[in-house]
């Protein structure tokens, strides 16, 4: 059974590498052939890890083909020149950077790693508000944690124990040199364990620290965590389909969908296939020239916040109109004088006099 898988692994390695060789041609090793054999051995190792779903290898080498964002340095030594900068992530989550009552004691001589990261992001983006930089920094760290853990669960069938005391973080570095695991301890790769490794152990304390220190809403930070998870799952699905690994792609989609239904992430957005639309905004549109992200709840950047319109001043009551003086009575008109009698025209006889009117009831003789 193992021999059959080894043959399958060799065929997969050669098909993915894009070159072939004749077994007889490597009987007399030379410099070029030795390099070919070394390259083949590395590819065989990676293919065996992918096909056999074995326990985690100490170097987590199966993550390397996925690209820098999925890579986790393990175990020591740390990448050159970064030893003095890296600190356990537990230091970043401490409620106070130096707090005698905290479970995790942070050395007094070490600077605050979370604030260093936030300030670095603010400077790089020209963020006008510190809470914008804090939101972007939290989402970036969440994406790194999801990418590493999700890829290990899909490719190995196991995940490393990312205990914050074992996982070191360099806030000044970029992927993949920002994270370093001092010891690889395998845990199961089921959805419940992945949620415990990332959500409970890291993103819960990180959300609390960012909310408390920088005033970023917890609902927004939960949306950032969901967006980072969906993005990691989408990239893993694309990588697997490009390499003809349909089973790996299906596993990535299934695991991502299950994790988005976790109580700590449920209701943060809608997943359709590998496309995610969140119900909150990471505030990146507030960065000069930032715009909105592909999964943002806003179709376009909102306009500048408008201050509420001040209330109109109360109008003073209209003064009463002054009382009008009574209109003086019009003067009595004098009676119109009677018109004078017209004289009779010459040559005309005067009209006969009218008989007097009889009084009512008078009898004639």
CA distance 347 to 332: 44
Starting at the edge strand found earlier in the chain, the sheet holding 179-181 runs: 87-88, 167-169, 179-181
Check residue 64 and give its pLDDT: 94
Which string of DSSP letters, residue by residue, matches 2-28?
HHHHHHHHHHHHHHHHT----GGGGSS
Structure tokens at 162: 């990312």
**Closest of 280, 259, 258 to residue 268, by C-alpha:** 280
CA distance 128 to 110: 27
Which string of DSSP letters, residue by residue, matches 106-162?
PPTTS--HHHHHHHHHHHHHT-SSHHHHHHHHHHHHHHHHHHHHHHHHHHTSEEE--
Structure tokens at 315: 């109008």
Check residue 104 and give its pLDDT: 39
Burial class, 19, CB count within 10 angstroms (exposed 0-12 / middle 13-18 / buried 19+): exposed
Which residue in the block uniquely carries the two structure tokens 């690889």? 184
**Closest of 253, 248, 232, 237 to residue 295, by C-alpha:** 232
CA distance 365 to 354: 20
* Angle, CA of 198, 93 and 105, to the nearest 5°: 125
**Closest of 243, 241, 228, 231 to residue 274, by C-alpha:** 231
Check residue 259 and give its pLDDT: 98
- Other Cβ atoms less than 10 A from the Cβ of 73: the count is 20
Residues 162, 145 contacting (CB under 8 angstroms): yes
Which residues contact residue 137 at a Cβ distance below 8 angstroms, ignoring those fewer than 6 apart?
114, 117, 118, 120, 121, 210
CA distance 208 to 217: 10
Which residue in the block uniquely carries the two structure tokens 């990180």? 206
Residues 123, 144 contacting (CB under 8 angstroms): no
191 three-state secondary structure: helix
Alpha-carbon torsion angle 69, 104, 100, 108, nearest 10: -50
pLDDT, one tens digit for every residue, the chain (365 residues) = 333 333 333 333 323 332 222 223 323 334 444 444 444 444 444 444 444 445 788 999 999 999 889 999 998 666 555 555 789 999 999 876 433 333 434 444 457 999 999 999 999 999 999 999 999 999 999 999 999 999 999 999 999 999 999 999 999 999 999 999 999 999 999 999 999 999 999 999 999 999 999 999 999 999 999 999 999 999 999 999 999 999 999 999 999 999 999 999 999 999 999 999 999 999 999 999 999 999 999 999 987 654 345 556 666 667 667 666 667 667 667 667 666 666 655 555 555 556 555 555 444 44
**Crossing angle for the helix pair 31-52 and 2-17, to the nearest 10 degrees:** 120
């Amino acid at each position: 059974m193992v021999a059959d898988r080894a043959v399958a692994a060799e065929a997969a390695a050669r098909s993915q590498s894009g070159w072939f060789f004749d077994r007889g041609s490597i009987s007399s090793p030379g410099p070029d052939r030795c390099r070919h054999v070394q390259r083949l051995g590395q590819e065989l190792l990676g293919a065996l890890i992918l096909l056999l779903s074995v326990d985690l290898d100490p170097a987590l080498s199966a993550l390397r083909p996925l690209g820098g964002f999925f890579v986790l340095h393990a175990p020591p030594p740390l990448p050159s020149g970064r030893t003095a900068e890296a600190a356990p992530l537990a230091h970043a989550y401490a409620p106070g950077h130096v707090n005698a009552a905290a479970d995790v004691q942070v050395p007094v001589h070490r600077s605050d790693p979370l604030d260093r990261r936030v300030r670095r992001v603010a400077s790089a983006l020209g963020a006008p508000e510190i809470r914008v930089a804090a939101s972007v920094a939290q989402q970036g760290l969440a994406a790194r944690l999801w990418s590493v853990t999700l890829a290990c669960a899909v490719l190995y069938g196991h995940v490393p124990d990312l205990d914050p005391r074992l996982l070191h973080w360099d806030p000044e570095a970029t992927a993949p040199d920002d994270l370093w695991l001092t010891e690889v301890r395998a845990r199961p790769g089921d959805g419940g364990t992945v949620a415990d490794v990332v959500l409970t152990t890291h993103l819960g304390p990180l959300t609390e620290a960012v909310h408390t220190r920088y005033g970023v809403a917890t609902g927004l930070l939960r949306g950032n965590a969901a967006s980072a998870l969906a993005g990691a799952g989408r990239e893993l699905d694309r990588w697997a389909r490009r390499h003809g690994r349909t089973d790996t792609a299906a596993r990535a989609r299934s695991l991502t969908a299950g994790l988005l239904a976790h109580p700590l992430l449920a209701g943060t957005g809608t997943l359709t296939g590998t496309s995610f639309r969140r119900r909150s905004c990471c505030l990146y549109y507030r960065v000069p020239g930032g715009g909105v992200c592909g999964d943002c709840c806003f179709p376009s950047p909102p306009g500048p916040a408008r201050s509420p319109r001040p209330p109109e001043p109360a109008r003073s009551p209209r003064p009463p109109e002054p009382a009008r003086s009574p209109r003086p009575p019009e003067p009595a008109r004098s009676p119109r004088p009677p018109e004078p009698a017209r004289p009779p025209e010459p040559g005309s006889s005067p009209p006969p006099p009218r008989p007097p009117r009889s009084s009512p009831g008078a009898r004639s003789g």
